[in-house]
C-alpha cells in the first residue's frame, strides 16, 4: 500500500457518512489502498481561538470522537489486521477541506447529502474522482456492489469521467449506468 494514494472519505457524523465509510473501506481493501478518514472542523468568524478555547476544545473533541467511531466502523467491515486506516481533523470549511484533500486522493468518497450542494461543488472542483454513496440499505449497511453511475454530457472534459466510470465498473464487475439529462424548455429566454 505504501506509495499509493489513499482512498479518502469525508465524514460529518451523519448516517450518510457511515454508509460512505463502509463503502470506502471495502473499496480501499479491494484496491489494496490505505483508507484515510477526514472531517472538517469549521469555526467561522473566529480569529483568535484563545477567546473561544472552551468552544474550540469542544469542536475538536467532537471531531476526534467522529473519527474514532468511523475508524472502528471501517476496521470492523474489512476485518483484516493488515488493513491500514488513518484519520485527520482538518481546520476549515467542509468544501475547502474536501477539495484540498482531493489532491492527495485516488478517490474521494462522500455520503449523499439531503441538498446535494456538497456533491455538486465537489463534482465541479475536486482534483480526484468523487464517489457519492447513496442507495438501498440491507441490514443497515449499503449494498457493496451497486452500479456505477456517471453523468454524460458529450463534452471533452466529460471524457475522463466516462473513462474512469467504465474502468471502475469493469474492476468491480458492476453494471454501468450513464445518465444524460436535457430539457425541452428553451432556457435562453
Contact 70, 88 (CB under 8 A): no
- Mean predicted confidence (pLDDT) in 14-40: 93
Say which residue, 170 or 182, is predicted with more confidence.
170
Q: Is the dihedral of CA 59, 74, 96, 132 positive or negative?
A: negative
Confidence of residue 126 (pLDDT cuts 50, 70, 90): very high
For the record, the C-alpha cell of 95 comes out as 468544501
What is residue 50's DSSP assignment? G
For the record, the C-alpha cell of 136 comes out as 438501498
Backbone φ and ψ for 117, nearest 5 degrees, come out as -65, -45
pLDDT tens figures, 78-124: 989 999 999 999 988 999 999 999 999 999 999 987 667 888 888 88
Contact 122, 23 (CB under 8 A): no
Residue 23 has pLDDT above 80, yes or no: yes
For the record, the C-alpha cell of 87 comes out as 484519520
Residue 162 has pLDDT above 90, yes or no: yes
pLDDT tens figures, 28-70: 999 999 999 999 988 766 555 555 555 667 888 899 999 999 9
Confidence of residue 1 (pLDDT cuts 50, 70, 90): low
Q: What rounded mean pLDDT belongs to the chain?
A: 86
Number of CB atoms found within 10 A of residue 63's CB:
23
Contact 131, 39 (CB under 8 A): no
Amino acid at each position: 500500500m505504501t506509495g499509493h494514494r489513499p482512498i479518502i472519505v469525508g465524514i460529518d457524523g451523519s448516517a450518510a457518512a457511515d454508509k460512505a465509510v463502509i463503502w470506502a473501506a471495502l473499496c480501499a481493501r479491494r484496491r489494496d489502498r490505505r483508507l484515510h478518514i477526514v472531517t472538517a472542523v469549521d469555526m467561522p468568524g473566529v480569529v483568535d481561538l484563545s477567546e473561544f478555547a472552551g468552544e474550540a476544545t469542544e469542536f475538536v473533541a467532537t471531531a476526534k470522537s467522529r473519527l474514532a467511531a468511523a475508524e472502528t466502523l471501517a476496521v470492523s467491515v474489512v476485518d483484516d489486521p493488515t488493513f491500514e486506516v488513518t484519520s485527520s481533523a482538518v481546520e476549515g470549511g467542509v468544501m475547502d477541506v474536501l477539495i484540498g484533500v482531493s489532491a492527495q486522493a485516488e478517490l474521494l468518497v462522500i455520503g449523499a447529502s439531503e441538498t446535494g450542494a456538497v456533491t455538486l461543488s465537489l463534482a465541479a472542483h475536486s482534483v480526484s474522482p468523487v464517489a457519492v454513496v447513496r442507495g438501498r440499505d440491507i441490514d443497515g449497511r449499503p449494498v457493496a456492489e451497486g452500479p456505477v453511475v456517471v453523468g454524460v454530457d458529450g463534452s471533452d472534459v466529460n471524457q475522463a469521467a466516462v473513462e474512469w466510470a467504465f474502468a471502475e465498473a469493469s474492476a468491480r464487475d458492476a453494471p454501468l449506468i450513464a445518465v444524460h439529462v436535457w430539457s425541452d424548455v428553451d432556457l435562453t429566454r
